[in-house]
Amino acid sequence: MFAIVDCNSFYASCERIFRPDLINVPIVVLSNNDGCVIALTSEAKKHGIKRGAAYFEIKELVRLKNITVFSSNYALYHSISERIMAILAEYTTNIEVYSIDEAWLDMNGLSDRYALACQIRKSILDWVKMPVSIGIAPTKTLAKVANKIGKNKPSGVCELCPKEYTDYILSNFDIADIWGIGRQLSKKLNIHGIYTAKQLSEASDRWVRKLYNVGLERTVRELRGEPCIDFETAPTPKTIIVSRMFGKKLYNQSEIGEALAKYCGHAATKLRKNHLVAKNMTIFIQATEGYGKNGNNYSCRYNFDNGTDSTIFLSQMAHRMLEQIFRPTKKYLRAGIMLDQLTFKDQTQYNLFNIAETPKQDKLMAVIDKINNKFGNDKIGLLSAGINREWKMKQEHLSPGVKGRVKLYH
């Protein structure tokens, strides 16, 4: 038995925690660079705004309807998320943090699951002021269905049980809302006359597999109540990507270099947090115009002799790689780095003849992490990541940082 705990309009609700005056007021939260809407409250939805809408297109509506706008404030959202996960951990040790605003709970062997879910929901609301919905079912896919139903219930909780009730729900559930089925697949299934979750659950495994792939077959089995997707306690990342649009177009190699150095810092911090090292790095820059197979994207890939988690080493490599792909006549919109071939630091094989890592550098990185943990991200970093940071993204509606705010719960 699985339960999925999902925060309602998470980013918008986070902003509301510190602004009780915004209860029942429509709120939208914008993507990095204030580009488009990534989260919105039900009140904002009523004005016809959709997730993904371009901000410049709804600006007038926002003004007319008095909708409150926030730039996304990830430091705040991560901090709230950690508090919620800590509350969940008080109820069960078997918890899989699935995303910043969602977690799976293992409910096997628990008797009154519905009452427990109501209790969890109340704790999170009382202590963090975050509204959540909880779905309970024998498979992850069904739990997601239940969660969606729970969002429209006053209790916020839905358990798919008994079978007649599940059948009733699935008969009225649009396939486009099923976890794992996106726009393309639902269109494809509609052509074959499949519109509801119930119809999809009755399709034959072989037919479904032939129509698309094993992933869809798993979804179908899960809809029938057969668990195919396991509980994963601490998934380790396989790739780490850091990429951002710039606040304005850049044509200067040194500014792009600064941005890349900063992204290397973020990526390396994430490596160290997960006790990983990377053996491979790709950097990419996106120009405003271009041609060829990859259009306006230019990238460069490099394999290290030894896995690394050093900000210094990664930044130096990124700098050299940028020299190879940078074209001076172009203007650039975005840059990014990707790390892959990640392995655990204590299991990695080093090249005997080229030991790049030194204990000294490890110590330095540990100190940097400690300082940034205590005083907030980016308090200390490499000079190569720049000080003025004119390329920094636009965030005109940012709420104050989380450090120094009132404690939310004891």
Residues 43-82 that bind DNA (CB under 7 A): 52, 54-57
Q: What is the DSSP string of 217-269?
A: HHHHHHHTT---S---SSPPPS-EEEEEEEEEEE--HHHHHHHHHHHHHHHHH
Strands 102-106 and 68-71: unpaired
Tell me the closest approach of the beta carbon of residue 220 to DNA, in angstroms: 14
Strands (E), 254-331: 276-287, 297-308
In the complex with DNA, the residue whose CB is nearer, 43 or 102, is 102
Residues taking part in catalysis:
102
Q: 194, 242, 256, 300: which one contacts DNA (CB under 7 A)?
A: 242
Cβ count near 224 (within 10 Å): 17
Residue ranges in 158-197 that form contacts with DNA under rule CB under 7 A: 178-186
Alpha-carbon distances, residue 78 vs 20, 83, 332, 405 (angstroms)? 20, 9, 30, 14
Of residues 110 and 176, the one with the C-beta less far from DNA: 176
Q: Which stretch binds DNA (CB under 7 A): 87-95, 194-202, 329-337, 395-403?
A: 329-337
Cis before 359 (ω within 30): no
In the complex, minimum distance from the CB of residue 354 to DNA, in angstroms, rounded to a whole number: 20
DSSP 8-state class, residue 76: H
Between residue 350 and residue 389, which ones bind DNA under the rule CB under 7 A? none
117 vs 178, which CB is nearer to DNA?
178
Least distance between DNA and beta carbon 334 (Å): 6
Is the separation of the CB atoms in 396 and 349 below 8 Å? no
The phi, psi pair for 95, rounded to 5°, reads -135, 135
Helix (H) or strand (E) holding 12: helix 10-17
318 is a contact residue toward DNA (CB under 7 A) = no
Least spacing, CB of residue 85 vs DNA, in Å = 13
Query: Is 328 a residue that touches DNA (CB under 7 A)?
Result: no
- Judged by CB under 7 A, which of 38, 75, 161, 203 binds DNA? 38
313 vs 391, beta carbon nearer DNA: 391
Q: Which residues bind DNA (CB under 7 A)?
A: 31-33, 35-36, 38, 52, 54-57, 98-102, 144, 178-186, 213-215, 237-245, 266, 270, 293-294, 333-334, 336, 393
